[in-house]
Structure 1
Amino acid sequence: MQLADLRRYGASHTIIQSLRDIGIKDIYPPQLEALRLGLLSTKDSFVIASPTASGKTLIAEMAILKTIFEEVGKVIYLVPLRALAGEKYADFSRKYKPLGIKVGVATGDYDSRDPYLAAYNVIISTNEKMDSLLRHSSPWIHDITLVVADEIHLITDAHRGPTLEVVLARLRQTNPNIRVVALSATIRNVHDIARWLNARVLESTWRPVPLKEGIYFDKSILFDDGSHKEVEVATIYDPINIALSVLDEGGQALIFVNTRKSTESVAAQAAKEVGKRISDGERKVLEQASEEVLKALAEPTRICRRLGELVKYGVAFHHAGIHSRQRKIVEDFFRENRIKLLVATTTLAMGLNLPSRRVIIRDWWRYQPGYGMGPIPVMEIKQMGGRAGRPGYDDHGEAVLIAKSRRDQAFLFEKYVGGEPEQVISKLGTESALRSHILACVATFLAKSEGEILDFISYTFFAIHKDPTDILSIVREVLRFLIEEGMIKEEGGNLKATPFGTRVAQLYIDPLSAVIIRDALFKAEERDRDLTPFSFFHAISATPDMMVLRLRKRDYEKLTPHIVARKDEFLLPLPGEEDQEFLAQVKTALVFLEWIEETPEDKIVGGYHIGPGDMRALVELGEWLLYSSYEIGRVFKLRRAVKYLSPVRKRLAYGVKEELLELVALQGIGRVRGRNLFNAGYRTIRDLKKADIEALTKVPTIGKEMAKDIKRQVT
C-alpha cells in the first residue's frame, strides 16, 4: 500500500510526510490492520500482540506522531530494561530530531523529579524509573496523553511485572483519558489485558520473514512443515554442528544455553571451526573488534581477555556478566554480520534484539531461584525462536530445539512447536510486591484509607482475575507492618505517611530494606569503636533489595575466618555461621570491601566468580543503598552514622581508598588513573594545577589528551 493511501484511515498529511521522512516505504499487514481498527481515527487504546519484527514499534510510532502533531501531548515510552531504553532513545533521536521532535531518556537515579524532562515530547523510560517519577509527583506527568508499554507480556514476571502493572494503573487513575498502546508477544489471554486497559485488540501471526520451527535429533532437523534438513557432523557438539551448517550457507547463528559458563565453553569449542570460515578481510575487522573489547575497561579481566580472543574467530558469548560496553561491541559486530556465531544465556533473550538466520535453543530447562530446575515457558522459547530470520537478508528463519531422544523430540514438538504460550497472570498479590506500592500510594496522597487502597488495586491487572478484596488480608498485614515500623500513621481517621515513610517511598527501596537499614544506623550511632565500612556493607547486603552473590562449595570454609575476625563490626544480629543467607551477605560485603581497598578488578571477579558486568551492577546497587542509608540517617538525625557514611559511599562509587577521593572526582579519572597520579606525586587538585602537561603525560595510563583534559578541569 502507498503511504498516500493512509489518508482514508485518518492519517494526516503531516503524519504521512513524517513517515516518509523517517524512511518508511511499506506498510506491513499488522500496521494496516491497526489503522483499520482506528489507530489514527480514534483515541482508543490498543493492545498489539504479534511476533518479533512484525512492525509493532511502527504502530506505536504512528500513534506517537498523532499525539505530538495533532494533540500537542506528551508521550511516555515504557521499556523493561535500561539497555533497551538506550537503544530506543538512539533510534528515536536519529529519526525524529530532524522533525523537531524532542526525545529524552529517563533511567537510573530514583531520587529525582527530573524537571528537565518537561522539555521533551517523547520520554523513553524504564518501568522502574517511571514508578519513581510518579512517587516524586513530577508536575509534567499531568501532560502525558499517550503511554506506550513495550513488552507488556512481562507483567507476568514476578520481579518486573508488579511495577509495570502499578505504573499503568497509576497513570490511568490520575488521568482517565490517557491513551495506552501496549505491545506484546503472542500470548494466550491478550483479551484479558485489553479488558484491563479498555483497549482494542490486534492479534497477528504475520512475520516479514517466514519462520520454520524444528527439532534436531540424530544429525537431522525435522521442521514443522514436514521437511527435513541433514546436518553435517564437523565436531562432537550438536549445537555447533547445527550452527556451522547455516554458516556454510552464508547465514549467522545464535545459540541459547542456560548458564554463563556454557556460553563461554560453547563459544570456545566453536571458535576453531568458525574461524576457518572467516575471510582475510573479515579477520582484520574482527581483530579491531577484539581490540575494542579489551580497551572497553580500564582494567581488563579474564572474561574480557577470553571474549577478545574469541571475537578474532568470529565467535562471541553474551551474558549479564559482561560489561555493557563490551555487550554493545559484540551486538554491533553481530548486526554487521562480522561476528558469525553468538552464544547467549536464555535469561538474556528479552533484551537481545539480534536477528540471525538460525536460532538454536540447546537448553529448554533452566534454574529458577527458589524453585530449582524447570522447563522454560513456551512464551520465552517462542520469543527466542522469533529472532530467526533477518529482514532484507533471509528468505526464511529457522528456530531449532535440540532433542536427546525420539521421546524428547515428540515432547518438544508438542510442547514448544505446537504448543500455545502460557496465560499472562498478575504477580501483584503478594506481601513483598505490595509493601512498596501501598506505601507509595499513601505517601503520594493517592490513598488515605484501606478502602481507597483497594480502589487503587481495582485499576490493576490483578483485578481482572480476582476481586481486590481477595487480598484484603495481605493489604491489612502490609498496613500493620508499615504502621508498626513508623512509615504510616493514622491521623483523624486517615492514613498518612510519616517523614520516614515519605522518604522511603521516594528512595524507591523496599520498606523492609528501610527497616533493616534504620536499625543498623541506630546501632552505628551508639558505637564508639568497631565501626568500619564492612559494618555498612553487611547491613545493605542483608536487605531484600541487594543482589547477593550465590555461594559456592568452597565459600563456607573461606568465609568463616572473616566472620570470626569481624564479629564485632556487624550492626545486625548474627545468626548461626551455617546460615546460607547470612554467608551470602558476608560474601557480598567482602566484594565491596575489596573494591574500596583497590584490589584489582580482575582479581575480584576471578576470586568471587563474577563478571565485570556483575561487578558494575553490584557497585551501582550498593552505592544506591548507601545513599539511601545516608538519607534515612538524615531523617532520624543520626549525625555520627551520616558523617561516617558520606566518604564510604563515595569510595564505593569509585572503588578507591579515601586518599584518592579528591582525584577521582575529576572526569575521566577512575581508580587506575587516580592511583597512578597519586603514586607519581600528584595527590591533590593543587598538585595538578602546578603540573605541566609534559610531566602528566609520563604518568602511566595518562596520555597527552588526558593530560590536557586534566589541566582544563583544574584551571
Structure 2
Amino acid sequence: MAVDEVLPEFADAFPFERFNEMQSAALPALLDREDNVVVSAPTASGKTALAELAICKTLAEGGTALFLAPLRALTNEKESEWERFEDLGYSVYVVTGERDLSPRRAERADILVMTPEKADSATRKHETARYSFIMDVDCCVIDEVHLLDSERRGAVLEVTVSRLRRLCDPRVVALSATMPNIDDVADWLDAPSETTFAFDEAYRPVPLNADVKTYTHGENAFADKYRRLYRALDLAEPHIREEGQALVFVSSRQDTVQAAKKARDELVERDIPMGARGDYDFHNDAADLSNDTLRQSVLDGVGFHHAGLSREDKNRVEQWFKEGKIQLLFSTSTLAWGVNLPARCVVIRDTKLHDPLEGEVDMSPLDVLQMLGRAGRPGYDDMGYAWVVCDRSDADKYRRLLRDGKEIESRLAGELDAHLNAEIALGTIRDIDDVMSWLETTFYYARAKSSPDAYDAGSDLRERVSNELSQLVADGFVERDGLRIEATRLGQLASKFYLRLDTARRFADLAERCAAVAGDGDAAESIDAEDLLATVAGATEFDSVSARSDEQDAVSAVVGSGAPEELDAGQRKVLAILHSGMTGTTPTELKSDAWVIRQNALRLLAALREFLDNLAPARFANLACRVEARVEHGISEDAVGLTAIDGVGSGRAGKLAAEGLSSPADVVRAGVSGLVAAGLSEGVAEQVVSNARDLPVVVVDWGEFPETIATGDHDMREVTVANNGGGARAGLRVTVNGREMTAKPSYLGQTTLPVAVFGADADELTFTVEVTFPNRPLDPVTVSRTVAVR
C-alpha cells in the first residue's frame, strides 16, 4: 500500500514509499479503529512503522502520543529519527533522567519519548505541576513489550502501563518480537482479536538460519573466551570472504575492544582480505575518531560498538557498517535493541556475563533472540545466518529457545509487596476493594489466569494479595482503618526512593537508633559514618553481589577486620568500594565493578539521608549528606564541605583543598585571587566565590550569658542564632556537658533558643550550640560557652 495514498498529510514522516505486507495487514486496525492493538512480528520486519502509524492517527486527531523505548540510548535515536515529524510542524520531546526536564516543553509536546523507568517516575508524580503533562497522553506505544519478561525491568514496565491506563486511559499499541503467548498480552491490554496480530517467520524480510555451536573448554575462563572468539571467527569467515558482514555480540564493553584487537591479528593470519587502508577519504574520516583503538581498527575493516563510546564515534561506526566499510563488528547487547544494523552473519560469542550486582548470570533469553534477529540484510541477502556459541551443557537449552521461542512471563510476583506499597503511597489504592481492582489491571493477573499452575495462583490469587497487604501493615508500611488503607511515612519513603522493603526497614531501624540515642551525648557519638556505610552495604539491593577470589585480598586491605559480622563477602566488597571511593583510591582489583556499585550506593545513601531527615535528628541526616558527598566526589572529610558550593566537584575541591581551603568560608575569605592561585581560571573563580556566598553563614549571639552561677541557682537565658548568608534548613541543638537540653528544626533566618543555666554539682558547665544542615554537606557549626559553678 502506498504511503501517500493512506496518509497523504504524513507521507514525509515515513522513510519509504510503500508499506510492506505486514504493515499493510495491521494498518486498518491502527487507523480505522480506536481499540488497543497488540502486534508480534519478527525482528526487522518493520514494526517501527506501526508505531509511527499509531502516532500519525493520534496527531491527526489533535492528541498527544507517548512512545516507551526500552533503552535510554534509543530515546536519543528516536529524537534524531523523528525530526521528520518536526519538519511537519509537530513537537518531539525526549524525557530522560540524564536531561533537565522542561515542564513547559513536555506539556506542549505532540510526541513524548520516555523509558519505562522515567514514565514510572512521571506517573508517580502526576499530581505535581512538573509532571502533570503525563495526564494528557492519548496514545501510548510500547516498543518491545516483551520486556515484560525482563527480570530487572519487566515489573516497572508492567505497573507503569497499568497505572497510566488507570490515570488517563490512553489507547495502547504494544509491539513485540515473536512470542508464543501474545494472547496473554492482548488480554492484559483488552485488545480484541481483530486488533491482535501474530506475524510468524514467514513475514521476516530475510529467512533466518539459526543454530547452536559448542566449544571445547580450555584451562581457564580467559582461555575459554578466546576459544569462543576463534569459534565465532570460524563461523563468520566464509561470509566475510564473500564480502558479507558479521556482527559478533560479546558480554562487556571491554570485551568488544579486546575481541576486535585479537580478531585483527587472527584475520591477518588467515589471510582474509579486509580493510580500506587505500581509501584516502575513509582514512581521513577515521582520523577524526576520538577512540585511539577504534581509529586503528576500522581501517582494517574491524570495529567495535558499545555505550561508552562518544556519540560521534558510535554514529560513524554505524554509518560505516551500513556502507560495508566495516565488515566485522563486535558489540554489546545494546546494539540489538537499538539501531537497525543487520548483518548477513550474527554470532553470540558470550551467553554469560558478569553483572556487578548479580555476579555471573546467563544472558537473558530476550537478549539472545533479539540479537539473533539481526541476521539478514533486507535487499542484500537471501538468507541470514545466526549462531549461539555456548558450553555443551547449555546447548539443548538454547536449541529449545530457538525452536519454541520464549513465553512472556510477569515479573511482578517477585516484587508484589514493593509495587503494592507504591500504589498505596501514591493514593491510587485507598481501600481493600481497590487492591483487587489494581491487581486485575496487571499482566500478572492476566498471565495467572491463563497459566494458574505456573503462577501458583488460581483461586488463591486474592488470598496472596491479601497476605501481602497484611504484611505491609505488620511491617509498618501501611496503616489500616477498617476497609481504608493508607501509607505511613515509612511506606511513602520506600516508594519515593524505589527501595526494596527490607532495605527500607533497615534504614528505618537505623533512624530509630539515631533518635533513641540523641539525648545521650556519649551514645550519640557511637553512630558514625561507618554505621551508615555498613547499613547501605547490607541493603537487599546488594544481596547478589559476589566477591571473586582475586578481589578478597583487596577487600581485606581496605576494610580489614572492621566490617560488621552480619555482612557477607559480597557486601564487604561493597563496603570496601564505598570506603575507597571516599578517598578516590579504589584498588585495581575492584575497579571493574566499582562504578555500578557506587552509583547504586549513591542512590541508597540519598534515600538513607532522607530517612534520617524525617525520622531522626538533623545532625544524622547531615552526616549522611557528607558521607554521600565523599563517596560521590572522593574528597577528604576535612574538605567535603567544599562540594556544597555549586560548581565544585571532585577536581576543583581537590585543587582548593591542596591550597589549604577546606570550607566555603575559606573560599570567600580567599576571594577570586586566592582561587586563581589555587589553579582555577578567573571566570570560574568568580563564579565559585559568588556561589560560596550563597551558602549559610551562622552567627551565634550569646547575649547576656553569665560567666558564673551559684550552686543551686537557676537562670533562664536566650541565645540567638542568625544566618548572614543564603537561606537554609537547619537543625538546632543545645547541649550542656554533652547532654541535650533543646533541639528543634528551623529555617535560618534568625531564631532564639531558651537556655537554662543552673548551678549543678559540676564545677563548670559547657554549653554548646550546634547548627547542622540536613541536606547540605557542610560541617556542623558548633559554638561553646563555659559557665563556672561557684
Query: Which aligned pairs between 1:101-140 and structure 2 lie closer than 5 A?
Result: 101-108=90-97, 117-138=106-127, 139-140=132-133
Mapped partners of 2:672, 2:443: distance in 1: 63
1:43 aligns with 2:43: no
Mapped partners of 1:660, 1:646: distance in 2: 10
Say which is worse superposed, 453-462 or 112-121, in terms of deviation.
112-121
1:583 aligns with 2:573: no
SS at 1:343's partner residue? Answer: strand
Partner residue of 2:344 out of 357, 361, 370: 357
Mapped partners of 1:51, 1:236: distance in 2: 28
Mapped partners of 1:236, 1:495: distance in 2: 57
Mapped partners of 1:371, 1:471: distance in 2: 33
1:406-454 CA-partner distances (Å, limit 9, x unpaired)? x999x6996355x121221222223xx1111111222222223333212
1:456 aligns with 2:438: yes
Query: Which structure features the higher share of strand residues?
Result: 2
Query: Which aligned pairs between 1:53-64 and structure 2 lie closer than 5 A?
Result: 53-64=44-55
Q: CA deviation at 1:607?
A: 2.2
1:22-55 CA-partner distances (Å, limit 9, x unpaired)? 544232222211213x311211111111122222
SS at 2:242's partner residue? Answer: coil
Match of 2:501 in 1: 511
Match of 1:415 in 2: 400
Match of 1:27 in 2: 19
CA contact (8 A) 1:187 1:421 kept: yes
SS at 1:26's partner residue? Answer: coil
CA contact (8 A) 1:559 1:587 kept: yes
Residues 328 and 111 (structure 1 numbering): CA distance in 2 closer, same or farther, change over 3 Å? closer
Match of 2:149 in 1: 156
Residues 674 and 355 (structure 1 numbering): CA distance in 2 closer, same or farther, change over 3 Å? farther
Match of 1:302 in 2: none
Partner residue of 2:173 out of 173, 181, 195: 181
Match of 1:398 in 2: 385
In structure 1, what residue type is equivalent to 2:95? A
Q: CA deviation at 1:189?
A: 1.2
Mapped partners of 1:507, 1:236: distance in 2: 42
Mapped partners of 2:314, 2:579: distance in 1: 31
CA contact (8 A) 1:112 1:136 kept: no
SS at 1:537's partner residue? Answer: helix
In structure 2, what residue type is equivalent to 1:182? A
Mapped partners of 1:682, 1:663: distance in 2: 12
Mapped partners of 1:283, 1:99: distance in 2: 38
1:481 aligns with 2:471: yes
Q: CA deviation at 1:79?
A: 2.5
Query: Which aligned pairs between 1:103-252 and structure 2 lie closer than 5 A?
Result: 103-108=92-97, 117-138=106-127, 139-176=132-169, 178-199=170-191, 200-204=195-199, 205=201, 209-215=205-211, 237-252=230-245
SS at 2:138's partner residue? Answer: strand
Match of 1:230 in 2: none
Partner residue of 1:17 out of 9, 26, 32: 9
Residues 665 and 349 (structure 1 numbering): CA distance in 2 closer, same or farther, change over 3 Å? farther
Residues 278 and 312 (structure 1 numbering): CA distance in 2 closer, same or farther, change over 3 Å? closer
CA contact (8 A) 1:46 1:180 kept: yes
Residues 308 and 246 (structure 1 numbering): CA distance in 2 closer, same or farther, change over 3 Å? same
Match of 1:333 in 2: 317
Residues 339 and 435 (structure 1 numbering): CA distance in 2 closer, same or farther, change over 3 Å? farther
Match of 1:277 in 2: 274
Mapped partners of 2:190, 2:600: distance in 1: 37
Partner residue of 2:291 out of 287, 290, 293: 293
Say which is worse superposed, 121-130 or 453-462, in terms of deviation.
121-130
Residues 23 and 664 (structure 1 numbering): CA distance in 2 closer, same or farther, change over 3 Å? farther
SS at 1:387's partner residue? Answer: coil
Q: Percent identity?
A: 26
Partner residue of 2:650 out of 664, 671, 675: 671
Query: Which aligned pairs between 1:83-94 and structure 2 lie closer than 5 A?
Result: 83-92=73-82, 94=83
Say which is worse superposed, 582-591 or 654-663, in terms of deviation.
654-663
Mapped partners of 1:107, 1:424: distance in 2: 26
Mapped partners of 1:35, 1:505: distance in 2: 40
Q: CA deviation at 1:544?
A: 2.5
In structure 2, what residue type is equivalent to 1:450? I
CA contact (8 A) 1:215 1:412 kept: no
1:572-626 CA-partner distances (Å, limit 9, x unpaired)? xx32xxxxx6221121122122222122xxx54x32151xxx5444333222211
1:500 aligns with 2:451: no
Q: CA deviation at 1:515?
A: 0.9
In structure 2, what residue type is equivalent to 1:237? Y
Q: CA deviation at 1:235?
A: 12
Mapped partners of 1:235, 1:543: distance in 2: 36
Mapped partners of 1:414, 1:163: distance in 2: 30
Mapped partners of 2:391, 2:492: distance in 1: 55
Say which is worse superposed, 452-461 or 616-625, in terms of deviation.
616-625
Residues 466 and 32 (structure 1 numbering): CA distance in 2 closer, same or farther, change over 3 Å? same
Q: Which has the higher relative contact order, 1 or 2, with Cα contacts under 8 A spaced 6 or more apart? A: 1
In structure 1, what residue type is equivalent to 2:535? A
1:128-185 CA-partner distances (Å, limit 9, x unpaired)? 2222222223333332211111111121223222221112222223344x21000100
SS at 1:39's partner residue? Answer: helix
Q: CA deviation at 1:482?
A: 1.9
Partner residue of 2:524 out of 518, 523, 528: 528
Mapped partners of 2:91, 2:15: distance in 1: 19
CA contact (8 A) 2:68 2:115 kept: yes
In structure 1, what residue type is equivalent to 2:408? V
Q: CA deviation at 1:517?
A: 1.3
Indicate the structure (1 or 2) with the bigger Cα radius of gyration.
2
1:256 aligns with 2:256: no
Q: CA deviation at 1:661?
A: 5.4
CA contact (8 A) 1:113 1:137 kept: no
Query: Which aligned pairs between 1:352-391 and structure 2 lie closer than 5 A?
Result: 354-363=341-350, 377=365, 380-391=367-378
Q: CA deviation at 1:551?
A: 0.9
Q: Give 5+ residue unaligned stretches, structure 2.
A: 216-226, 450-456, 518-522, 691-790
Q: CA deviation at 1:313?
A: 5.2
Residues 530 and 264 (structure 1 numbering): CA distance in 2 closer, same or farther, change over 3 Å? farther
SS at 2:157's partner residue? Answer: helix
In structure 2, what residue type is equivalent to 1:536? L
Match of 2:85 in 1: 96
Mapped partners of 1:262, 1:245: distance in 2: 23
Q: Give 5+ residue unaligned stretches, structure 1.
A: 220-233, 295-305, 576-580
State the superposition RMSD in angstroms.
4.1
In structure 2, what residue type is equivalent to 1:675? G
Residues 249 and 682 (structure 1 numbering): CA distance in 2 closer, same or farther, change over 3 Å? farther
CA contact (8 A) 1:255 1:342 kept: yes
SS at 2:568's partner residue? Answer: helix
SS at 1:277's partner residue? Answer: coil
Match of 1:227 in 2: none
Residues 95 and 682 (structure 1 numbering): CA distance in 2 closer, same or farther, change over 3 Å? farther
In structure 2, what residue type is equivalent to 1:360? V
Residues 561 and 609 (structure 1 numbering): CA distance in 2 closer, same or farther, change over 3 Å? closer
In structure 2, what residue type is equivalent to 1:131? D
Match of 2:761 in 1: none
Residues 374 and 413 (structure 1 numbering): CA distance in 2 closer, same or farther, change over 3 Å? closer
